[in-house]
Each structure stands twice: as C-alpha cells, then as structure tokens.
Amino acid sequence: MRAGYGSSSSRERLFFALWPGEDVRARLAARADGWAGRPVAADGYHMTLAFAGAVEADVRRALEAGAASVSGEAFVCVLDEIIWLGVGNIAALAPSYPPPALLGLAARLRRLVSGATSRVALHRYRPHVTLRRLGAGEPRWCSPPPEPVPWAVADYVLCRSRAERPGSYDVLARWPLS
C-alpha cells in the first residue's frame, strides 16, 4: 500500500482541482485518441490546483473552511498545447496562455495548503490535464497539434484519491467562482 493509505489510517490524500464536465471530458478523450501510452480514464480527468498530500481529518476540515473564503472569477481555459511531464512519461494538454484567473486561484489555494499542512510546493505551477501515461522507454507520439478545447470554469473542487483504485477520485466539496 502507498504511504498515507491503509485500513487503520484516517489519512486522506487530498488536492484542489478543476473538474471538467462530461462535454469537456469527451472532447479531451477524443483529442488524445491514438496517442502513445496508456489512456487515463476520462472520469479522472482534472487540473490540479494545489496538492495537500495525505492529511488527517482536522487538516481536511481546515482546508474546507479555508477554501470557503478563497474567491475567484469564473474564466475560460483553452487547452491547446501538448506537453510531456515527469521526464516525458505523461502526455497532457495544457493552456499555452494560462488565464490570470487560473494562476491566481492556484496561487491562493497553494498558500492555503501550505498554511494548513506546512507543505511548500517546490515546483513552478504548470496547469495541465494528464491524458496518457507512457511506459518506460515507450516513444513519445501524439497526433498533430489538437484542436483547442475551450473549458468554461465556474468552480473548483476538493478531491480525494481512492486508495483501492489508483487514478480514481472522489469529489468531496465544490466552491463556485464568481
């Protein structure tokens, strides 16, 4: 079992994310059709905003309470760029020009997570939606640049990773953007 999971542990692996609707999920899945690698399940598509890690119930409550005071504007995020992450083992779609409202929301939520967990993000935030995972040594390949996928973002969520099914998630709470 992964650290932070287990039947005797009350810890949950949590993160804040943008959670697309079915129409956006379908368009993302269609764009990645035929790419190299193992597809990520479309019902797990998301854009991570801030990762909290494995936390106890009191930290979850602090994150939920803090998120209620994190405001932001609704925005449209256009996913139009193929990127390779994790030394090339992840194929993702990303916005070539991330909206300032997206970057601001992620920064506010990362500060919230840092204050609640003492976890400091060590990397620059790069918004993306993972669509494929490549095996070791598998060549990178994807179709020509995809048609842009516009995504009207009206809220953000707190998610929990499911220990029993890696790559699947539960949406625990949702907050609207103005």
Q: What's the CATH number where 167 sits?
A: 3.90.1140.10
State the pLDDT at residue 108. 97
Total domains, the chain: 1
pLDDT score recorded for residue 9: 62
Residues 14-48 have pLDDT tens digits of: 999 999 999 999 999 998 888 888 999 999 999 99
Whether 5 is in a domain gets the answer no
Q: Is 63 helix (H, G, I), strand (E, B) or coil?
A: helix
Q: What is the dihedral of CA 27, 47, 156, 112, to 10 degrees?
A: -170
Judging by DSSP bridges, how do beta strands 75-79 and 90-94 pair with one another? unpaired
Single out the residue of 20, 30, 35 nearest to residue 147, CA to CA: 30
Q: Is it the case that residue 3 has pLDDT exceeding 70? A: no
Instruction: Tell me how far apart the alpha carbons of residues 9 and 142 are, in angstroms, rounded to a whole number.
Output: 40
State pLDDT tens for residues 139-148.
Answer: 777 766 668 9
Cα 114-43-93 angle, rounded to 5 deg: 70
Task: Tell me the pLDDT of the chain averaged across its residues.
Answer: 89
110 within some domain: yes
Looking at the predicted structure, is the pLDDT value of residue 6 above 60?
Answer: no
Q: Which domain holds residue 28?
A: 12-176
Distance CA 152, CA 17 (A): 14
Q: For 89-101, what is the mean pLDDT? A: 95
Lay out the sheet containing 129-133: strands in order across: 38-39, 129-133, 90-94, 81-85
For 122-165, how does the pLDDT look when each residue is reduced to its tens digit (9 = 90+)?
788 999 999 999 887 777 777 666 689 999 999 999 999 987 77
Residue 53 lies in a domain: yes
